[in-house]
Structure 1
């Protein structure tokens, strides 16, 4: 992948790469599971934007709409991460 997500994750035997930035802010370098969760978050955000109206500028959102948009996005990401988390083996090894 290129662009803002082009830095590789560090391994124990490598140096930590410089974090990619966008507008002076550090960006993450998401792994495949995180990328899938980001796509799920975007779907939640898109559903809400369809209700608000795609032509609405972010600056024109009410505080309630902006908070709902942020909440929908974070909820979608967290739900997808929880759903895709490895499940521990329920069998007790002793």
Structure 2
């Protein structure tokens, strides 16, 4: 089964570029009890800049990648990623 799915999955540790792209593409934050996509740095700057010195997507990605001193706040700031299922694999079931 792993040989069949091998072209569609990956494992191992991500690099900083992958973490940043994932946050930019799939990053959602909770703001005023609503799910708001991270479309610009204003959302991050408003919530995390004063207390945790995280002011943009690059700083947020670096904090999560390096497991810095404010990792817990940064990871709790992001909501769970919702990934799409592969249509080819969904048709096989």
Q: Same fold (TM over 0.5)?
A: no
Greater fraction strand: 2
TM-score by length of 1: 0.26
Highest Rg: 1 or 2? 1
